[in-house]
Structure 1
Amino acid sequence: MFSLDWIYYAISWILLTWHSAWDAIGVPVGAVIGTNWAWILAIVFLVVTVRVILFPVFVKQIKSQRAMQALQPKVKELQEKHKGDRETLQKEMMELYRKEKANPLMGCLPMFLQIPVFLGLFHTLRRLSPDNQGKTLYGWTVDQFNSASNATLFTAPISGKFGSTADELSRLGASTGTVKVVAGILVIIMIATTYLTSRQMILKTGWAEDPQQRMVQRLMLYGIPLSLLISGAIFPIGVIIYWVTNNLFTLGQQQWVLRKFPPPPTAKSTSAAKSTSGKGPVQPAKAGGLFGRKAAQPPAKAPAVAPKVAGPKPGAKPVNPKKGGSKPAKRQG
């Protein structure tokens, strides 16, 4: 059977290294405001360590999404061409992705790579209990294990869960009400930040034309946050701290990367930009106007006014216009 011990040892090593670093700096190991800050910061910087290691993968994810966006016009052509023939459409699209070296599932890769870290931390914190004091696991010393077992966040043990029974919490020496309040608030923050990370990406890149990729986007935006309503009750508080910190880190990292690698302009955004900037040609309004109303007609020109004829000068004889002007002068004789 495949063993995951190597994951537990790796996560424990990172966690204990950061805890020793904060302890050496002078961060209080004992509870301050009901919180063992050295252990809380160790979990926070476990996230930082993992995200720094996975940063190249995150950049590849963004580049893959840009490649998928560039293929959207071709994907739309295939959808129009094979409308009603789903099997042929899927084959043509897979061939297009293979030819252009694009992967619609690349957007989920960073999340998949973090699953072992999440499981390793979940497995480790689940074993932090006064019942197991005096034991060691995955490279921990007895003192480190005992210290982590008694670590708290606002007096709630980091190994406690929203769904913990009263008997389990009594063995941890914790108040049931306190654990449920702290864990409940963290679960709400976890769900909200999980939703915001997916929403931030979709707002910047838009919904995909590919049905398969759109389904992945909907799963990320709605499915995962909703699933946390149930699974969040069984997560230890320390694991929820990890998840919330990871989401906040993701929001900041995505904001930076999306500015560094902005989405390619689409045809709609380009035409809209031209019309609003005033640089593009202005098209004449079509007949029918907006909402089917008649287009406004240009104002009619005023009739031309005949130019005024200057009157005779003072003292001059009047001129009869019918005779064609003044009489010719008499010859001198």
Structure 2
Amino acid sequence: MSLDWIYYAISWILLRWHALWDAIGIPEYRVLGTNWSWVLAIVFLVVTVRVILFPVFVKQIKSQRAMQALQPKVKELQDKHKGDRETLQKEMMELYRTEKANPLMGCLPMFLQIPVFLGLFHVLRRLNPDLPEKYKTLYGWSVEQFNSAANSALFSAPLPSKFGSSAEELAALDANSVTVKIVAGILVLVMMTTTYLTSRQMILKTGWAEDPQQKMIQRLMLYGIPLSLLVSGGLFPIGVIIYWVTNNLFTLAQQQWVLRKFPPAPMAGSRGPGPRPAGGSGAAKGGSAKSPVQPARTGGLFGRGKASAEPESPVVDTKALAPKPGAKPTNPKKGARPANKPQG
């Protein structure tokens, strides 16, 4: 299937934003070695895409919450139909249908952004000043717009260049190899960091999944993807990395807003913040506080809580047991004096 429609759509949005910044007076020439009109066009391409996908993002958050709330029921079905995969799948699909939860919704926004990323990658990769003019006018570009974008830069590093650009590619862009590697290298590190923070932010708010497979996916998103960018980031044009970093920053702000507006429900079996009442639930209901002292647990988000080796011993107040000054000493071994018998 041809992806030309994606290239046309990305080019149209990019060129409309560039024309807007040019119309309001953003200079076309470099300031601090940067063509800000093209950099801002890429930044606001992200804003355009994220605004369009915002309703899908809200549905993603709600779906993740629904899946999280269903974990106890999923665990019951897994225990009930252990060894019967076909029945388990039918029961789980019925559960998702009844509770209106969609497991695929959690990945939908990311999947919808992949065509945009690929489209921008293709458009920026072909920005070569030496390209024949008949190819410069593809996807709705004019020759003037193409040449302007091909010669645009961020801190003197051309936007079409990348960390792994060959000597021939750098010569065609009239770029300095050291400058390109420094700018691209810093951007790749920022891209890795912000990618990690977006996953960490969500896990901090919603907690680790109970299901081992979902927990493995969470760990892959948290650690695997940022580490993979250390290698693949060297193949991305600088303009694409600007898009990725801007998208991550937008995601951080968007997730923070959504998590505040739709706070996650407390997990089953977890207790909210604040001190635990003495004696557990029995003491809270007015019963005696004879329940065993719960062992203290340590650990945080990334480690299991570990019970302390020994339970805490009850503290004895020796001052309360001491006799008061002036009180008559008592002999605990001596029995009580019998009552006087009535005289006959």
TM normalised by structure 1 equals 0.83
The equivalent position to 2:291 in structure 1, one of 275, 286, 296, is: 286
Amino acid of the structure 2 residue aligned with 1:232 = G
Larger radius of gyration: 1
The structural deviation recorded for 1:267 is: 3.8
Look up the match of 1:127: 126
The structural deviation recorded for 1:268 is: 4.1
Distance 1:209 1:287 in 2: 27
**Is the alpha carbon distance of 1:301 and 1:173 closer, same or farther for their aligned partners in structure 2, counting shifts above 3 Å?**
closer
Whether the 8 Å contact between 1:157 and 1:174 is mirrored in structure 2 is: yes
Whether the 8 Å contact between 1:72 and 1:209 is mirrored in structure 2 is: yes
**Is the alpha carbon distance of 1:163 and 1:271 closer, same or farther for their aligned partners in structure 2, counting shifts above 3 Å?**
closer
Distance 2:65 2:87 in 1: 25
Distance 2:311 2:9 in 1: 67
Cα RMSD between the aligned structures? Answer: 2.8
Look up the match of 1:140: 141
Q: Does 1:23 align with 2:22?
A: yes
**Is the alpha carbon distance of 1:276 and 1:28 closer, same or farther for their aligned partners in structure 2, counting shifts above 3 Å?**
farther
Distance 2:119 2:150 in 1: 16
Amino acid of the structure 2 residue aligned with 1:200 = Q
The structural deviation recorded for 1:213 is: 2.8
Distance 2:10 2:93 in 1: 37
Whether the 8 Å contact between 1:133 and 1:146 is mirrored in structure 2 is: no
Deviations 1:66-123 (A, max 9, x none): 1112212212333444567666555543332233221223211111100000000000
SS in 2 for 1:131: coil
Look up the match of 2:116: 117
Whether the 8 Å contact between 1:34 and 1:154 is mirrored in structure 2 is: yes
Map 1:235-274 to 2 at 5 A.
Answer: 235-270=236-271, 272-273=273-274
Q: Does 1:166 align with 2:171?
A: no
The structural deviation recorded for 1:222 is: 1.9
Map 1:77-226 to 2 at 5 A.
Answer: 77-82=76-81, 89-132=88-131, 134=133, 135-226=136-227
Amino acid of the structure 2 residue aligned with 1:286 = S
Distance 2:82 2:312 in 1: 35
- Gapped runs of 5+ residues in structure 1? 308-333
Whether the 8 Å contact between 1:11 and 1:120 is mirrored in structure 2 is: yes
Whether the 8 Å contact between 1:104 and 1:213 is mirrored in structure 2 is: no
**Is the alpha carbon distance of 1:186 and 1:288 closer, same or farther for their aligned partners in structure 2, counting shifts above 3 Å?**
closer
**Is the alpha carbon distance of 1:108 and 1:118 closer, same or farther for their aligned partners in structure 2, counting shifts above 3 Å?**
same
Deviations 1:179-209 (A, max 9, x none): 1111111011001101110110011001112
Distance 1:117 1:293 in 2: 58
The structural deviation recorded for 1:131 is: 1.4
Look up the match of 1:310: none
**Is the alpha carbon distance of 1:121 and 1:289 closer, same or farther for their aligned partners in structure 2, counting shifts above 3 Å?**
closer
How many residues were matched structurally? Answer: 306
SS in 1 for 2:103: coil
Amino acid of the structure 2 residue aligned with 1:150 = N
Q: Which range is displaced more, 136-145 or 224-233?
A: 224-233
**Is the alpha carbon distance of 1:288 and 1:224 closer, same or farther for their aligned partners in structure 2, counting shifts above 3 Å?**
closer
SS in 2 for 1:130: coil
TM normalised by structure 2 equals 0.81
- Gapped runs of 5+ residues in structure 2? 296-309, 330-344
Distance 1:67 1:167 in 2: 53
Distance 2:21 2:292 in 1: 73
Amino acid of the structure 2 residue aligned with 1:114 = Q
SS in 2 for 1:48: helix
Whether the 8 Å contact between 2:33 and 2:155 is mirrored in structure 1 is: yes
Whether the 8 Å contact between 2:279 and 2:291 is mirrored in structure 1 is: no
Matched residues, percent identical? 73
**Is the alpha carbon distance of 1:138 and 1:287 closer, same or farther for their aligned partners in structure 2, counting shifts above 3 Å?**
closer
Look up the match of 1:316: none
SS in 1 for 2:33: coil
**Is the alpha carbon distance of 1:14 and 1:210 closer, same or farther for their aligned partners in structure 2, counting shifts above 3 Å?**
same
Whether the 8 Å contact between 1:287 and 1:295 is mirrored in structure 2 is: no
SS in 1 for 2:179: helix
The structural deviation recorded for 1:296 is: 4.5
